Structure formats: structure tokens, C-alpha cells
Amino acid sequence: MRNKLQLIKDLPIAMKLIVLSAVFIAVPLGIASYLTFTSYSESIQKNTGKYQMDVVKELTANIDTYLNELNLLTLLPYQSPQIMKYLEVGEQSSTSLSFNDRVTIEDFAKRVFANGRVDISGLTLFRTKGGNAYTAMSEEQANFMPRDVRNEIWYSKVSQTGKMVYLGTFNKQGMGLPNQVYSFARKIRSVDTGAVLAYLVLDVDKNIIRNKIEAISNDKKNIMIVDNEGSMIYKSIINGPDAEQIKHFKGMGTVVYKQDNDSELVSYYTSPLTGWTMIEMVPLAVLLQDTVYVRNYIIGIGAVCLLLAIIIFTLFALRITNPISELRNLMKKVVIGDLAVSIPIHSRDEIGQLSQSFNLMVSKLSDLGYRLYESEIREKNAQISALQSQINPHFLYNTLGSISMYAEIQGNKEVVKMTNHLSKLLRYSINSHQSQVPLHMELEHVTGYMAIQQIRFEDKIQFHVRIEPELLSYSVIRFILQPIVENAIIHGIDKGNGYGTISLIGKKQDNHMVIQIQDDGAGMSAVHLQSLIERKFQMTTTEEGTGGTGLMNVHRRIALRYGNQFGVTIESNLKQGTTISLTLPLIESQHEGRKMDA
């Protein structure tokens, strides 16, 4: 990835301008074309959905009108006193019809078949008294036979309501051939007592509803009708939603139905009269066929515009970059020492001003070269003077050694001890060419520093070291323990009652090295502690120590070298003390030296 980015950076400016222009033109043009196409497609889909919903509503209204006529026809027994009388006073166990009863029923059947509004293909009247059933089909001989209505599969559905009930699709034998019909039934009750007298079942040829749908619908293969229980009443769709999906099509709406690789626009409407749901489906591929031409037209125009824009930008980019290329070639000559060059100036724009500056630069190169040479000579002289004025570190060591010997002769052991420790501190500080040292060397440095501080504070400060021996050979960054120990003295012990203990604890934990510096001094309040924790992430020099060697500097040095998972954590309680924990990686030291016993 880095190599690819570098290759892009190394491209000529003209090529970058051409590519950028192509991108900045192609992206907005593509977005605009896409939005135009999708907006057009959504508009067509919305309008078609609205039209499709109107068709579905019209189909539903026609079916409702037809079923309403059929509903009125099922109420015809209430308009025939003879039929009501036959149903009410008929013999309980009669297995045959009397002549008068047969005339009454046949007259009623003729009125049903000849109603002029609804085409009835069959009629069955179940009388509850006697368990007789009269069945008549158009243009066929009627029959009368014992038949208990309670054995019919639809009995439980019809007996629970007084309304007309759709029973389903059945095969009825007619003219010697099976014929599919829709069956509807109604319970006939006594007007006086309300007792159930009979059940009237009317059969309608299935083609009746099909013909009504095909008379209105332009597409005869995209309609389906289901009843309120999800049963299929009519279907002219080869592939459509399954029964589980159809249950969600209740009320009114238009949705996009996806099946396999095809999508279809589905409009559905539930009749408030019958509870039937009319569903019409239109393939989106057919619906959006015209949008394909619009899409291709937009792509063609966009491609032509993009090509013209690239050609124009190419000419414009070359006009800009040619003077820059010429200037680059002249600069190569200047690099090899040819100062007798000059570039003609044709304009006063930025490139013209750059060319003028180049000519002026070449004319002054000789003078600037001499001045640079003179400046380097003076700088070397200054460095020599500075070196001569520096104090040899060995002079400091020898001087401290002389003081130590003189103090020892005088019997002043404290001065001897402090001088020796100070000499070691100076040597450790001056010989800082190594950024990492073994932990035992850093501990020797801190121990020497604390020895001086203990003499200074007259042994008011106790210092304990408990380091696991296996950690002493691992490397740590120089000068990360002494600043924290110094903070413990200044901000912990010294601000307390002047007495205290500082403990330096080291242990191995989760494949890391954890070093803790604990003191029982003044501690910090929660507000002060939070402020100090927030300053860990501020890349500024803290007030703790000079030269950036304070507590926060130690944290940043660790985090920058090893990563943010390592560094300093702080715990403190007011008047109880502070614990500073350093989390470091386990890195084997390459430094050869003795180990210190912890």
C-alpha cells in the first residue's frame, strides 16, 4: 500500500491534474445521473402503484357488488311465506316430499335461478326438521334425499353466524362433467321464534368471478383473491407469495415483493364487505423497462461530457506544466555547476514569477556560495573556541576524589559518602550515550541519590528496595526512577511531617515489568489527582523538574518508546501517601555489567 501511494505521489503534475479532473467530474456526474435515474424509476413505480391500486379497488368493488347481490339472494326465503311455512311445520321424520311441498320448493328454486342479477349454478336447502336436503342444479333434475346438515364440513362455520359465509371451492357434478363452483351459505331462522329452520347453500360457477376480473384487468395473469382466513379463492399468478406471506397483506397498501431474482410491485386491498383481499402483481422488470433506455441515454451523455472534459483538461494541464518542466531541466544544469542558464518569461502569473526568481537566484549563486563558505569557516572557529572552554569531566572526577580524600583524612565520613555518591551520579549522568541500561544500573543510580538525600535529611527518610532478582538484567530507559523518587521526597515527604518511608518494589506481572514507588507522605486530593492524570496526555513540559524530566515526562518517554499500553499510573489518598506504578516491557539487556542484589 505504501509503495502504491508513493507511485501516486511520484506521478507528473500533468497526470495528477488529468486524473483529479476526471474524478471530480465523473463523481458528481455519476451521482447526478444515479439520482436522476432513481428518481425517475421511483416516480414511475409510484404512479404505477397508484394506478394499480385504483384497478384493485375497482375489481374489489365489482366483486363486492356481485356478492352483495348474492347476499340478498340468500335472503329470498324470508320473502316466500310458503317456504318459511314448509321449513317451520314440516314433518320431523319425513323422508319424501308431498306434492305441495315439492311445488313450493321448485317454485322457490326457479325464483333463485331466474333472479336476473346473479348466475346461480346450484342450490341446496338443508331443512333441520327431518334432516332432509333438497338439491337443484341449473338445467338438471332436482333431487330430494335424507342428509344431515351437521355432517357437512362447513356446518361449524355457518352455524356460528347469521351472515352469508363463503364456504370454499368445490367440484360439483353437472351434465355428466365435474364443474368447479364457489359455494356460499346462510342460516335461515324463524322470524317469530328465532329458531334455526334450515341452511341455504348457493353455488356460483367459478368462471363468473374470473370473467368479471378479466373484463376489467388488462393483464389476466397477475390477480389473486384470498378470503379472510388466507384460503385461495382465485389465482391467475403462476408464481406468487406463499400462504405465510399472504397473511401480511391485510388492509390496503403497495409493496415490492422479491422472489428469486425477480421483483414485483404488489398492490392489495381488503374488502370491508366480504373481508376478501384482492392482490395484483406487476413485474418491476416490465414496469421499469422504459427506464433502461433513460439510463443508457444518461450514461451516453455522461461519457461524452467526461471525454470532452478530459481532453480540455489535458490541454490545460500541459499548458501549465510545460514551463515547470523546462524550469526543472534548467535546475538540473545548475546542480552540476552550469550557472550560465536563463529561462524566458512569457507571463506574469505564478509560473512567470517563479521563472523570474530562478533567474535572480542563478545570478546570485556565486555571491551566496562565497558567503556560505565564509560562514562555515566562522562556525568552525566558534566550535573550536567552545571546545577549548569546556571543562574536562575527568577534571571534575579528580577534584571530587581529592575532596573525598581530604574529608577522609579529616574524619568527616558524611562528606566522603556524599562526595563518592555525587561522583557516581555525575559519571552516570555524563556518560548518557546509551538510551537504555540494565535495571540494576538504574537502581544503583537511585540508591546513590537516596544516600545523599538521607544524609541531607538526617535519616528522616527511610528507603527500601524490593526487586525480584530476575528483573535486574532487563533493560529500562535511563533516568526514569530518580525523577519519581525525587517527586516523592519533594511533594510527599517534605510536604508532610518531614518523616517518611519510600519503597521501591519491582515484580513480574503478565509478561510485563511493574515497578512501584510508594511513599507515606502528604498524598493528593481526588481533584489534584485527576488533574495530574489528565496532564499525562498533554504534550507540554510540566512544572516537575527542569528539562522535561518530571513525572509526566517519564510517562511520555515510556509511551513513545514502547507504546501507549505502557507508562505511568498514579494512585494517591490525601494524608495517606502516593503510589506511582511504571509498566514496562521485558527486554533482555545487551549491556554487560554486574547485577545488584535486591
DSSP 13-32: HHHHHHHHHHHHHHHHHHHH
At position 106, the amino acid (one-letter code) is: E
167 alpha-carbon distance from chain centroid: 51
pTM (2 decimals)? Answer: 0.44
Residue pair 455/416 in contact by the 8 Å Cβ criterion = no
Question: Cell for 516?
Answer: 512501584
Report how far residue 47's alpha carbon sits from residue 38's, in angstroms, rounded to the nearest whole number.
Answer: 14
Task: Please tell me the predicted confidence (pLDDT) of residue 322.
Answer: 79
Residue pair 438/472 in contact by the 8 Å Cβ criterion = yes
Q: Strands 500-509 and 461-467: what pairing?
A: parallel
Q: Strands 177-189 and 165-174: what pairing?
A: antiparallel
The dihedrals phi and psi of 63, each to the nearest 5 degrees, come to -65, -40
Biggest CA pair distance of the chain:
158
Question: Where do the CATH 3.30.565.10 domains begin and end in the chain?
Answer: 465-538+549-585
CATH superfamily of the domain spanning 13-306: PAS domain (3.30.450.20)
581 alpha-carbon distance from chain centroid: 39
pLDDT along the chain (598 residues), means of 10: 68 74 80 81 79 84 85 88 83 64 85 81 84 76 79 86 84 60 88 88 83 67 78 75 74 80 82 84 74 78 84 80 79 76 77 80 71 56 44 54 69 75 70 77 88 80 92 89 88 85 93 93 87 67 44 82 88 91 89 44
Report how far residue 427's alpha carbon sits from residue 441's, in angstroms, rounded to the nearest whole number.
Answer: 12
Question: Where do the CATH 3.30.450.20 domains begin and end in the chain?
Answer: 13-306
Report how far residue 469's alpha carbon sits from residue 152's, in angstroms, rounded to the nearest whole number.
Answer: 96
Architecture of domain 465-538+549-585: 2-Layer Sandwich (3.30)
Alpha helices (H) in 10-80, listed in sequence order: 13-74
List % helix, strand, coil for the chain (3-state, nearest 5).
Answer: 50, 20, 25
Cα distances (angstroms) measured from residue 213 to each of 17, 131, 164, 522, 545 = 64, 38, 22, 94, 94
Task: Please tell me the predicted confidence (pLDDT) of residue 545.
Answer: 41
At position 485, the amino acid (one-letter code) is: V
Report how far residue 495's alpha carbon sits from residue 524's, in angstroms, rounded to the nearest whole number.
Answer: 11
Task: Please tell me the predicted confidence (pLDDT) of residue 143.
Answer: 79
Task: Please tell me the predicted confidence (pLDDT) of residue 543.
Answer: 43
Report how far residue 557's alpha carbon sits from residue 550's, in angstroms, rounded to the nearest whole number.
Answer: 11
Say how many C-beta atoms besides its own lie within 10 A of residue 115's C-beta: 15
The dihedrals phi and psi of 276, each to the nearest 5 degrees, come to -75, 150
Residue positions counted in the chain: 598
At position 103, the amino acid (one-letter code) is: V
- Quickly list DSSP for 175-196: TTEEEEEEEEEEEEE-TTT--E
Task: Please tell me the predicted confidence (pLDDT) of residue 507.
Answer: 94
Helix, strand or coil for residue 436? strand
Task: Please tell me the predicted confidence (pLDDT) of residue 225.
Answer: 85
**In the β-sheet with 196-205, what is the strand arrangement from edge to edge?**
143-146, 132-137, 122-127, 196-205, 177-189, 165-174
Residue with cell 541519590: 449
430 alpha-carbon distance from chain centroid: 56
